[in-house]
Structure formats: C-alpha cells, structure tokens
C-alpha cells in the first residue's frame, strides 16, 4: 500500500473523461487499496482514480464515522435520479480548502461493478448521494465548481489560488525560520 499524490485543480487530467475498466486484476485491486489509503489519510470521504492521475472509471467512498465501510465502485453509472433537488456544501481533495453549495438530485440509483467484475446496484440518498454523484463527475472530467454559475466558479477559483499562495508563503516563512 502507498499514499498517492493527489492531482490538484486545474490540472488538465481532472478535465478528461476516464476510460471504462475492462480488466479486473490484482493491479486494479492494488490501485483501489492505495486510493483508499490516500483518501483516509487526506482525510476525505471519496476519491476518484483521475485524482491520483489514473484515467480509469473507479472511485472509492467511505462516509462512515468509523471509517470502516469502504466502497469501491468500478464503472459506476447513475441509472436513475430523483426530480427532487437538494443543495449541499461540497469540498474536494483536488481543491482543498474550498467549500461551495452545489445543487444535485436528492436520490440516485447507481449501478457499478466490484473489484471482481460482479454487477451491483446501490440506492443512495443524503451524503451518500452527494458523494457518489461528486465522484462519478470526476470520471467525466467535472469538478464540483463546474456546477456553479460562471461568475461563482471564477470567484471560487480565484479564492483557491489566493489560499494556495498564502499557504506557499507561510511554508516559505517556516523554512526561513528553521
Ligand atoms: Ni472531488
């Protein structure tokens, strides 16, 4: 197992459509384990393969408090979405520190494959619904701020750039003090 570097917005890999998984082998399982370790360490509740630079359709999710309910979804697809829409504050490990309200269907039914290639269905609501939709978006080259109006998206991206600059400046100061 290994911690993987998380690709940061606006890296072009985050805007690409990921390829379906066709081979269910040890390499895929190893990547899923590394992604889970990376997600737990961050910490986060979800991570998509493109966020670690692998342009394949796989995501890991664990929304449990105890961090003992890992879900690995291979080739996940939203099969049905409710007409009811909810607005929820979202964040992303590729845009750390940024939180914005995003509107999405309240409930979705998702089909996916597990690491052995077996097919499953999952009914999702509340945080799970938000998380699944957010992660599947990553497989289609979409990040959560893409759901905002252009004005709000630009403002959010500018805020992220400013936070990064401040963080880099603080790190440099610490270096000089050391
Ligand atoms: Ni994300």
Q: Which of 52, 105, 48, 90 is nearest to 72 (CA)?
A: 48
CA quadruple 65, 70, 73, 79: dihedral sign: negative
Residues 142 and 171 placed together within one structural domain of the fold: no
Same domain, 172 and 131: no
Which of these is catalytic: 54, 90, 100, 135? 135
Owning domain of residue 153? 149-178
Could you read off the pLDDT of 65-86 as tens digits, one per residue? 999 999 999 999 999 999 999 9
CATH of the domain at 41: 3.90.45.10
Residues 6+ apart with CB under 8 A from 8: 94, 95, 96
Centre of ligand 1 from the C-alpha of residue 156, in Å: 15
The span from the CA of 178 to the CA of 43, in Å, is 27
At residue 176, the pLDDT reads 87
Residues of the chain with pLDDT below 70 are none
19 labelled catalytic = no
Statement to judge: residues 141 and 156 lie in one domain:
no
* Partners of 109 in beta bridges: 80, 123
CB 36 within 8 A of CB 60: yes
140 and 83, same domain (yes or no) = yes
Please list, in sequence order, all residues whose beta carbon lies within 8 angstroms of the beta carbon of residue 76, skipping any fewer than 6 positions away: 57, 59, 110, 111, 112, 132, 135, 136, 139
Residue 110: per-residue pLDDT? 98
Q: How far, in Å, from the CA of 143 to the mean position of ligand 1?
A: 6
Cis amide prior to 7 (ω within 30 degrees): no
- Pair 34, 120 in one domain: yes
pLDDT in tens, 112-136: 999 999 999 999 999 999 999 999 9
- CA–CA distance, 168 with 117 (Å, rounded to integer): 43
- Distance (angstroms) between ligand 1 centre and the Cα of 120 equals 23
- Residue 6 counted as domain residue: no
Q: Do 142 and 159 belong together in one domain? A: no
Q: 137 and 153 in one domain?
A: no
**Do 86 and 155 fall within a single domain?**
no
How much is the pTM? Answer: 0.95
Spatial distance between the Cα atoms of 94 and 66, rounded to a whole number of angstroms: 23
Half-sphere exposure of 113 (CA within 13 A, CB side): 15
Are 131 and 177 in a shared domain? no
Instruction: Please check whether residues 138 and 160 belong to one and the same domain.
Output: no
Q: Total domain count for the chain? A: 2
- Report if residue 171 sits inside a domain: yes
């Amino acid at each position: 197992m290994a911690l993987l570097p998380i690709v940061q917005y606006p890296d072009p890999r985050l805007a690409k459509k990921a390829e379906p998984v066709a081979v269910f082998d040890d390499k895929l399982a190893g990547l899923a384990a590394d992604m889970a370790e990376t997600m737990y360490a961050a910490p986060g509740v979800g991570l998509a393969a493109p966020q670690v630079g692998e342009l394949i359709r796989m995501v890991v999710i664990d929304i449990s408090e105890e961090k003992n309910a890992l879900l690995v979804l291979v080739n996940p697809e939203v099969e049905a979405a409710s007409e009811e829409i909810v607005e929820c504050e979202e964040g992303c490990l590729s845009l750390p520190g940024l939180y914005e309200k995003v509107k999405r269907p309240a409930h979705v039914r998702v089909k996916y494959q597990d690491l052995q290639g077996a097919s499953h269905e999952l009914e999702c609501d509340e945080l799970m619904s938000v998380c699944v939709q957010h992660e599947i978006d990553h497989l289609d080259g979409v990040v959560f701020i893409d759901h905002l109006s252009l004005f709000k998206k630009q403002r959010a991206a500018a805020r992220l750039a400013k936070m990064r600059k401040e963080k880099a400046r603080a790190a440099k100061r610490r270096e000089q003090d050391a």
